[in-house]
Amino acid sequence: MELEIPKRFNAATSFVDKHLAEGRGGRTALLCEGRSWTYAEIYALVNRCGNGLRELGVEMEDRVLLALLDSPEFAGAFFGAIKIGAVPVPVNTLVKAAEYAHFLRDSRARVLLVHESLLEEISPALQGQKYLRHVVVVGEPGPGQIRFRDWAAAASPELEPADTHKDDVAFWLYSSGSTGMPKAVVHLQHDMLVASELYARGVLGIAESDRTFSVAKLFFAYGLGNGLYFPFHVGASTILLPGKPTPPKIFEVLETHRPTLFFAVPTVYAALLQEAAQALTPTIRACVSAGEALPGELYRLWKERFGVEILDGIGSTEMLHIFISNRLGAVRPGSSGQLVPSYEARIVDEGGNPVPVGEVGNLLVKGDSAAAYYWNNHEKTKSTMQGEWVVTGDKYYCDREGYYWYCGRSDDMLKVKGMWVSPVEIESTFVAHPAVLESAVIGLQDEMGLTKPKAYVVVKKGHAPGPSLADELLQHARKALPDFKCPAWVEFVDDLPKTATGKIRRFKLREQETLKVQMSPSRKVER
C-alpha cells in the first residue's frame, strides 16, 4: 500500500483539526481523572499552547521539552508545538536530574513544560542552561516560572498551522544506548500518519468507536501511538492516567472507562494476573504487548483467565511503532508475529548476507515511519540507518509461515519493564560504592520469563560479602538509578570472566546462568 501524503503537511492538522472540519468536534477525544474533553476542546487547547509558545519566542524548528504526565496538557503541548512547526520533545518522567540536564542541553530547548510533581527532581538541571528561556509548570510554579493554566487561558484559541513539509522534523524522542546519555531520535511530520495507517488501522482495525487505554506512558514511542495519535487518527477516544499505573489502579480505570483496546508491556500483564479477584472489562476486544518479548506462557495464562488475546508485536523508537505483529485469531504464542504490511524485513549474518529460513541473524527493517537520524550522533546514525534499512540490534529468525521469533539482542542492552537498561550504567553505579572492586550486569529471566538485571560483584579487600552488603549496595543503587534499573539479584563472586584486554565477557556469565537453569530440577523448562 502506498500512502498518499501531500508535500505540504502538518501533523497537527491531520490528527486534530481534521476532526472539526469533518464534524467530529463534539465527540470525546480524551478522558482523564473523571473529566472528558471533546475534540473541539482539545483543538482549542492545542491552539492556545501553540500561540502561547509563540508568545514565549518559540519559532519553527525550535525544540520544546515536555516533562509531562499523561494528560490533556500533554496532548495540547505536543500538537500545539507541532502546529507552529516547533519540535516537541517528550521525555521520560522517571529519570534523575543528570538526565534532564542532558535533555535540556542536548536539545537546546527554549521552553520546558513540566508537571509540578517533577519540579523537585528537575530543578538542579535548570541551572546554567544556555538555551532555556522559560519554564511553564502544570500545577504550582516556582519563582520566575509560568503557570500553565494562566498561560494557556491568555492565549488565543485560534491558530493557523505552520506551512510545514511532510518531511519537516515534527518531534524527537530520546532513546538510551549502552554507553553515555540517551540520544534523540528525530521523527518527521509524516511518520505518525504512516504508523497509524499501517499498524493501528491495518492490524488493530482501529475505528472511531474505539476507546484506547495505554499503561505505557505517552513519553515512550509505544505509548505515544497507543494513547494519543492512534485514537486521534480516527476520532476515537483515549483514556489517560496521569499517575502511577499500579495493578489496582489499572483495574479501576478499566472498570470506570471500559476501553476497547488495551496496551501494556509484558511485566504489566504478569502483574495484572497476580490480582486474583479482578475481572477484565468485556469491552476489550484486543490487548497489545510490546517493549520486550511476551513469554508464550504469559499469553496462555492471560487468555485462559480473561478470554482475550494479547497481540505481541515488536516496535522501536527508531521505527516509531510496531512493524512485526501477531493478529487476532492467528497468534503464535512466544513469537513477535508476522510483518505489518508495507514494512519489509531482512535477517542477515555478520557479513550482511540473508540467512536461510529458520536461521538466526540480525534483523533489519524498512518502512516509511522510520526516523531520519539521531541528533548530533552521526556515527550512530551511519551504523543504524543504512539507506532505507534500519538496524534493530535484535537477533531473530523467521519460520516458514513468516512468523518472527525473538532470540535476544546483539548488544548487551536489556529491556526491563519495556524500558532500556544499560549494564554499563548499573556497573558504574556499583563500582562507585567504596566496597566494590568491580561488577558485571546481565539480564536474567524471572519465573515468568521476564528479564530483570542481575549484578555480579567482586568486593574490595577488607569488605565482607553477604546479605547485609547486598542490601547496602541495592540501597546505594536505588539512590542513583530509577527503580526499573535496580538489580533484582546480587551475587558476590571472586572474579569476573574477561577478555585478554580486560573487557568483561557478559556472555560467559549468561552461559553460566543457562547451565544453572538446565541443572536445577526445580527450574527445568517445560514444553
Interface residue list for ligand 3UK (CB under 6 A): 175, 221-222, 290-293, 312-317, 321-322, 336, 392-394, 406, 409, 415, 418, 420
The CB-of-299 to ligand 3UK minimum distance in angstroms stands at 11
| Residue 317 C-beta: closest distance to ligand 3UK, Å | 3
95 neighbors 114 (Cβ within 8 angstroms): no
Looking at beta carbons only, is 38 or 326 nearer to ligand 3UK? 326
The whole-angstrom separation of Cα 265 and Cα 189 is 27
Residue nearest to ligand 3UK (CB): 315
Q: Are the beta carbons of 308 and 284 closer than 8 angstroms?
A: yes
Separation CA 40–CA 45 (nearest Å)? 9
* Residue-wise DSSP of 331-374: --TTS-BEEPTT-EEEEE-TTSPBPPTT--EEEEEE-TT---EE
Distances (CA, A) of 256 to 79, 226, 259, 413: 27, 19, 9, 38
Q: Which is nearer to ligand 3UK, 411 or 471 (CB)?
A: 411
**Residues 6+ away with beta carbon under 8 Å from 301:** 273
Specify which residues 173 forms β-bridges with: 185
Q: Residue 486 CB, nearest distance to ligand 3UK (Å)?
A: 19
Report, in Å, the least distance between residue 408 CB and ligand 3UK. 9
> Cβ closer to ligand 3UK: 38 or 338?
338
Query: Taking the complex as a whole, how short is the minimal distance between the CB of residue 135 and ligand 3UK, in angstroms?
Result: 27
Pick 39 or 404: Cβ nearer ligand 3UK: 404
What is the closest distance, in whole angstroms, from the C-beta atom of residue 117 to ligand 3UK in the complex?
23
Smaller CB distance to ligand 3UK: residue 135 or 314? 314
Query: Closest approach of Cβ 312 to ligand 3UK, in Å?
Result: 5
In whole angstroms, the minimum distance from the beta carbon of 34 to ligand 3UK comes to 29
**How does DSSP classify residue 13?**
I
Nearer of residues 70 and 312 to ligand 3UK, judged by Cβ: 312
> Could you tell me which residues come within 8 angstroms of residue 170 by beta carbon, excluding any fewer than 6 positions away?
11, 82, 87, 164, 187, 188, 189, 191, 192
Give the end-to-end CA distance of the chain in Å, rounded to a whole number: 39
CA separation for the pair 425, 141 (Å, rounded): 33
Which residue number, 335 or 439, has a Cβ lying nearer to ligand 3UK?
335
| Contact of 175 with 182, CB cutoff 8 Å | yes
User: Least CB distance from residue 91 to ligand 3UK, whole Å?
Assistant: 13
Spatial separation of the C-alpha atoms in residues 315 and 359, rounded to whole Å: 21
Least distance (Å) between residue 110 CB and ligand 3UK? 26
* Sequence-distant (≥ 6) Cβ neighbours of residue 219 within 8 angstroms: 66, 68, 90, 91, 92, 93, 173
Whole-angstrom distance, CA of residue 259 vs CA of residue 281: 8
Q: List residues bridging with 339 in a β-sheet.
A: 324
Please choose, from the candidates 482, 31, 32, 75, the residue with its C-alpha nearest in 3D space to the C-alpha of residue 242. Answer: 32
Of 332, 371, 410, 362, whose CA–CA distance to 194 is shortest? 371
CB 492 within 8 A of CB 465: yes
Q: How far is the CB of 224 from ligand 3UK (least distance, A)?
A: 8
* 317 or 338: CB nearest ligand 3UK: 317
The nearest distance, CB 273 to ligand 3UK, in angstroms, is 18
Name which of 159 and 192 has its Cβ closer to ligand 3UK.
Answer: 192
SS3 283: coil
Residue 28 C-alpha cell reads as 470525546
Residues contacting residue 266 through CB under 8 Å, at least 6 positions apart? 289, 291, 292, 293, 294, 295, 298, 418, 450
- Closer residue to ligand 3UK, CB minimum distance, 162 or 221: 221
Instruction: Specify whether the CB–CB gap between 440 and 455 falls below 8 A.
Output: yes
With respect to ligand 3UK, which residue has the nearer C-beta, 407 or 437?
407
- Closer residue to ligand 3UK (CB): 27 or 395: 395
Q: CB 303 → ligand 3UK: shortest distance, Å?
A: 17
Report in angstroms the alpha-carbon separations of 117 from 76, 132, 137, 142, 403: 19, 20, 10, 12, 43
User: C-alpha dihedral over 435, 436, 442, 443, to 10 degrees?
Assistant: 20
On the 0-12 / 13-18 / 19+ scale of CB atoms within 10 A, 518 is exposed
Q: Which is nearer to ligand 3UK, 159 or 270 (CB)?
A: 270
